[in-house]
Each structure stands twice: as structure tokens, then as C-alpha cells.
Amino acid sequence: MVLRLGERRYEKLMAEAERLGISPEQVLLRTVDELQPPPDVRRRAADAILAMPPMPVPDDPEDLRREIEAMYDAAMPDDVLPD
């Protein structure tokens, strides 16, 4: 692939590469990786989330914290936790 950049864009690319301490190619790859899906895909995802029924949530924040911690504990094997 050949990419032709105007001087202003070239300078911006080189400055960002220097700032991050990576190659200009890596800056471009990161930028492509961060591209967002088209708005209709994001809208459908949001609609699907909003259409979900509400989940029960404890009234006491401490109960909610314990519930969330229990879910993490159940999902995380003991051998990956730091001592």
C-alpha cells in the first residue's frame, strides 16, 4: 500500500510517532484499530441493550458491592490472583 500524505499530515504523523516512541507505521495501525463501527451498528447495539429487561439491584450499595465481588470471585480462578 502506498499512502500519500500532505506535508501537514506527514508532520502530525511524525510528531505523534515521536511523542509515543513508536514508528509512524505503528501510529497508523493503532489509528485503524481504534476506528469505530458505523453509527447504525452502534445504534443497533444500544437498542439491544436498552430493550433488555431491568435486573434486580439490591437497595443497599454494600450488598451490591458484595454481589459484584462474588461474581468476580466466581469468574476468576484462585491461581491468577496475587498473593
Q: How many structural domains compose the chain?
A: 1
The CB density around residue 81, as the number of other CB atoms within 10 Å, is: 8
Asked, for residue 44, whether it belongs to a domain, the answer is: yes
Look up residue 1 and give its DSSP letter.
-
> Does 62 fall in a domain?
no
Q: Look at residue 72 and tell me if it is in a domain.
A: no
Mean pLDDT of the chain: 88
Does some domain include residue 61?
no
Give the integer Cα–Cα distance in Å for 18 and 36. Answer: 25
Q: Is residue 75 part of a domain?
A: no
The predicted-structure confidence for 64-77, as pLDDT tens digits, reads as follows 999 989 888 887 66
Task: Enumerate residues 6+ apart whose C-beta is below 8 A from 13.
Answer: 5, 24, 27, 28
> Distance between CA atoms of 13 and 10, rounded to whole angstroms?
5
Domain membership of residue 82 (yes or no) is no
The yes-or-no verdict on residue 82 having pLDDT over 70 is: no
Whole-structure pTM value = 0.46
Q: How confident is the model at residue 12 (pLDDT cuts 50, 70, 90)?
A: very high
Does the residue 4 lie in any domain?
A: yes
